[in-house]
Structure 1
Amino acid sequence: MLLKKIFGVVQFLARQGLPLRGDGSYELDGNFNQLIKLLSKEDANLATWTKKKTDKYTSKDVQNEVLRVTGQRVLRDIVSDIRSSVFTIMVDEATDISTTEQVVFVLCWVDDKLDVHEDFVGLYSTASLTADSLVAIIQDVLLRLNLSIERCRGQCYDGAAVMKGQRNGVATQISCLERQSVREVKIVKDAVDTTFELSKLLKYSANRKAEFLRLKEELAPNDPGFRTLCPTRWTVRSKSLSSVRQNNSVLQQSLSTFADFAKHDMETSARVNGIRSQMEKFSFLFGVMLGESVLGMAENLSCVLQSKKISAADGQAAAELTLDTMLKHRTDSAFTKFWNKVVKHSETVDVDEPALPRERRLPARFDLSGAGESYVLLTVKEHYRIIYYAAFDRVISSIENRFDQPGYKVYCSLENLLLNAISGKDFEADIQKVIEVYGNDFDQDLLRIQLDILQIPFPS
């Protein structure tokens, strides 16, 4: 009974997400020891037991072992239910506070009552986030859980190239195992990276943040404040870039003050001077305003797609509307308007004049004359026009690829099948598309009967 109580305390703290132990000399004040003391007041036997010098089964090793065994039992219970169903793999990578790369593994599945479950399986450390490493982790986890890849009917990852790469990406490699199953625009990347460094300067120093707020109140009291940049989600960065544009002069003045603060701190001084150098370039301002424009459109689409009530058809329509909007901005007249806007704004802040990059020699494989002459673009405006088009092309291509995936088309077919069945329309063409994908996963005749029944509780 005493061991059962001790193990119960460990399980209770784990269930509540509370730490068991303190740190170093404060370990006796940890939740586990204090809870044991509380229970000892009502149980004389437990109080006597905890006064023993050895064999109390309260050490950190015992606690960790109880947690490990309990976690395995919970995982076995979860997996036992999943084995009778098909499932979807959901994987993402993250870096913890100790800078250790970890892979988050979740399984999504539907039970016999058609209730959807998303069960967290575990965190797995990895020394590399290459596609091959992530695929190996996925295969290893499924093997340990005794789940067959043949039961996998979907994959859910973020938009990173390592995940969605058409040749060697994680999704492609997993699909090969079972067949059913803006960062490249440098000028925008540099603007985002510099904004992130600005965010860290202000976020992790109360003195620097206070100085920025003081200068803002003095120089631009009516402008919006600086918005910290999210380091993991590209589509929500437009507001942060917008705040950099609106607070450009205040930020530059703040950096001058920060440099004085950091005279005796070489690392911080180097960071401040590096950010100042970037913000004084016209290319930085252009990248900020271009990122604000392009990512703003992408963010609007992202918000629409995250709505709980949106259908696949509605999502497709929202994507097409966003693409149409972007294509309207991808014209010479739209660029000229944007260029004039950037140049006009550059006159109000402390940035250098727009200039061409340094001359570069034509690569030998393209130099038919053999003269080795250098080449340059015709004008500064032409140079930035190419960058402008490249940014929109990247985002347009990403959206088109995301909505042209086979899995999304299957999802649309399933949605059309249900909607047509509910409304009493002919769904034979839709059901054939679904059968082509899922084959013998279900009884086709029984499915048709159930679809006919749907018309009764959902009359048109």
Structure 2
Amino acid sequence: MSSTSDASTVPQKKSRVEFDPSDIIADPGLRKPIEEYDIGIRDQVRREYLLMGPCQPVGHNFPRKQQGKDLRSFKEVWFQKFDWLEYSVEKDAAYCFYCYLFKQSRGDKLGIDAFTKTRFSNWKKAMEVFTEHVGGVNSNHNNARRHCEDFKNQRQSVSHIFSSHSREMEIAYRARVTAVLRVVRFLLLQGLAFRGHDESSSSTNRDNFLEMLNWYGTEVESVGRVINENAPGNNQMTSPQIQKELVRACAEETTRVIIDEIGDSHFSILLDESRNKSIKEQMAVIVRFVNKQGQVIERFLAVEHVADTSASSLKTALDGLFARYGLSISRLRGQGYDGASNMKGQFNGLKTLILNENPFAFYVHCFAHQLQLVVVSVAKGILAISDFFSYVTIIVNIVGASCKRRDVLLQKQHDKIVEKLEKGEIFSGRGKHQETNLARPDDTRWGTNYTTLIRLFTMWESVLEVLENVCNDGNVAEQRGIASGLIQRMESFEFIFILHLMIKVLGLTNDLSNALQQKDQNIVNAMGLIVTVKKPMQDLRENGWGIFLEEVKSLCVAMSVSVPNMEDSISVRGRSRRGGQLVTYYHHYHAEIFIAVIDLLTSEMNNRFSETST
């Protein structure tokens, strides 16, 4: 009993608090007080804020409000006179950068709470209060400023540490940091993982970072002399924390170069939101601008964590990002998102919230994305087409379900190509008849469906033979039944009719999609390309039925598929035979599929690419 009691009174070791980069908030009105951070990470928080610098949104449209008899607002010129001054876009208030980071717990009120916890927004007396806040030589503000300078000047604040080290040790330290940083930069450039599951000294593979650093040391003698066993035990520079800090430093420097490249010119933004592996909502931000050489440049700027994907949350995150990097919504001249209501909503979307502040930030929906929505609408809006793509997906999944089936498909296709080459039916040449396989269609990238249909058509006989093998020799009865049904479906006139039609239609839209995604494309050329696609679609509708039907019949004859008499009757799709609703084969294929596909495609393109929407 006593031993249990003694064990329960043993103090538990306190877990180490980890630094979270998402706690660093640019807007001073939204920050957590520095004293609320754990003392173990407080200096790291200060370093992050010092790297970021004071929040001074140059170019921001500062709101005017009634103070006394006049309308007054924050003045941008105050930033030039007071380098410590910060402005909160969210609170419309001023704060002190030095006092936030290094304020002391004693002294006058203006040195402790004003400009840190208590926001200041009396613009009428701003210059007077700012000067009073700075105060004399030993004021709280100046003491905080000196602490800040000492903190930044590590050589002065920890001079007793450096005095105990020789010049040679400092040179070795610099060489070690440089070597580690080069490895970090290479891994970042290639997008490679840093760490592995076993980084112990007995591991045969300690993964990318440590293995590459060791290789670097063996290849370069000067590096080998300062790393691993040749470095002090407490100064190896290989810990995960050091790696993360160097990665963040590289990210900050890269971002700084992008901001300097933008300069004071106008720019546009491209945004999208998605959920990462750890189930956190994130907003990706890309800036698009014209550089000093007149080139249109796109740069990935940041991935911002957001509480949710509502328009207000996205706008708040965007404002914080702009304030952190000194960008202003007043310089924004374009915004591009997807068609979700939270992004392009007419009343409460992110597009509208930005336009309320800056009416010149024109919204443009990505043309390639709109075109994809057109094709999706056609594929899902007509029963016969939707049914067709469902069967295509099942065929690809069954044929590619195992390595054995994929190998059989490749071998059969190879044998058929060789046979046709020997007979002179096809000819060899660069880019012709390359080894290929069925491509899996992707609902979010409809260009892949075009590739899938082309390969299915090219490998038709080989796919049928693989399905026959599954039907005859399959181990699972369910799959044998599915394979039998797929053979019957593929060898039907309707399947070949729709396959040929969708290859023709998707071929036109696929070429247009590739053209719209070119980097040097502009909106005028894009609209011209859309018009050029509408014309052949309309010509196909009005004059192409007879030729198209003959092409399908020729394919059916070549594939040993029976062609129905167009004057015979069949039941209406989606209706039972008991209802007695019958239509001719001609009406079914001409009106319900051929005309319906072209009309819906044309209608969707007119709606999504009208002059109003573009």
Task: Give the structure with the higher percent helix.
Answer: 1
Say if 2:572 and 2:583, in contact at 8 Å, map to a contact too. no
Is 1:215 the counterpart of 2:412 in the alignment? Answer: yes
**Post-superposition CA distance 1:325-355 (Å, at most 9, x none):** 1112223x63454345435544535689776
**Post-superposition CA distance 1:381-427 (Å, at most 9, x none):** 3233223233223332343345435585xxxxxxxxxxxxxxxxxxx
Percent of aligned positions with the same letter in both sequences?
A: 22
Q: SS at the partner of 2:335? A: strand
2:351 to 175, 184, 206: 175
Gaps of 5+ in 1: 158-162, 362-372, 409-460
Cα distance in 1 for residues equivalent to 2:274 and 2:413: 35
Specify the alignment match of 1:328 in structure 2. 539
Cα distance in 2 for residues equivalent to 1:293 and 1:101: 39
The verdict on how the C-alpha distance between 1:150 and 1:33 changes in structure 2, with shifts beyond 3 A counting, is same
Specify the alignment match of 1:14 in structure 2. 188
Specify the alignment match of 2:463 in structure 1. 251
Q: SS at the partner of 2:206? A: helix
**Post-superposition CA distance 1:9-66 (Å, at most 9, x none):** 32343235444334435552534344246337435343445573x6634123432333
1:35 to 213, 219, 223: 213
Cα distance in 1 for residues equivalent to 2:277 and 2:394: 18
Quote how far apart the aligned CAs of 1:119 are.
0.6
Quote how far apart the aligned CAs of 1:274 are.
7.6
TM-score calculated relative to the size of structure 1: 0.65
The verdict on how the C-alpha distance between 1:92 and 1:189 changes in structure 2, with shifts beyond 3 A counting, is farther
Specify the alignment match of 1:435 in structure 2. none
Quote how far apart the aligned CAs of 1:245 are.
2.9
Is 1:105 the counterpart of 2:285 in the alignment? Answer: yes
Say if 1:211 and 1:254, in contact at 8 Å, map to a contact too. yes
1:389 to 585, 595, 608: 595
Quote how far apart the aligned CAs of 1:323 are.
0.9
Cα distance in 1 for residues equivalent to 2:472 and 2:317: 53
Counterpart AA for 2:573: P
2:584 to 368, 379, 384: 379
Counterpart AA for 2:177: K
Say if 1:79 and 1:145, in contact at 8 Å, map to a contact too. no
Specify the alignment match of 1:415 in structure 2. none
Specify the alignment match of 2:177 in structure 1. 4
Counterpart AA for 1:188: I
The verdict on how the C-alpha distance between 1:350 and 1:249 changes in structure 2, with shifts beyond 3 A counting, is farther
Cα distance in 2 for residues equivalent to 1:14 and 1:304: 31
1:338 to 515, 534, 548: 548
The verdict on how the C-alpha distance between 1:105 and 1:139 changes in structure 2, with shifts beyond 3 A counting, is same
Alignment length, in residue pairs? 385
1:291 to 494, 502, 517: 502
**Post-superposition CA distance 1:188-242 (Å, at most 9, x none):** 3444454455556666754223311333355674376655356353246435323
Q: SS at the partner of 1:393? A: helix
Q: SS at the partner of 1:263? A: coil
Higher Rg:
2
Question: RMSD in angstroms over aligned alpha carbons?
Answer: 4.5
The verdict on how the C-alpha distance between 1:112 and 1:391 changes in structure 2, with shifts beyond 3 A counting, is same
1:5-404 to structure 2, matched below 5 A, reads: 5=178, 6-24=180-198, 25=203, 27-36=205-214, 38-39=216-217, 41-43=221-223, 44-48=225-229, 50=231, 52=233, 56-79=236-259, 81-82=261-262, 84-91=264-271, 104-122=284-302, 136-137=313-314, 140-141=317-318, 143-146=320-323, 147-157=327-337, 163-164=338-339, 170=344, 173-177=349-353, 178=355, 179-180=359-360, 181=362, 182-184=375-377, 185-186=379-380, 187-192=384-389, 194-196=391-393, 198-199=395-396, 205-217=402-414, 221-222=419-420, 228=439, 231=442, 232-235=444-447, 237-259=449-471, 263=475, 279=490, 282-305=493-516, 312-331=523-542, 334-335=544-545, 337-339=547-549, 341-342=551-552, 345-346=555-556, 348-349=559-560, 356-359=572-575, 376=581, 378-384=583-589, 385-404=591-610
Say if 2:272 and 2:283, in contact at 8 Å, map to a contact too. yes
Gaps of 5+ in 2: 1-172, 363-374, 421-425, 427-432, 565-569
Say if 1:49 and 1:56, in contact at 8 Å, map to a contact too. no
Counterpart AA for 1:256: E
Quote how far apart the aligned CAs of 1:294 are.
0.9
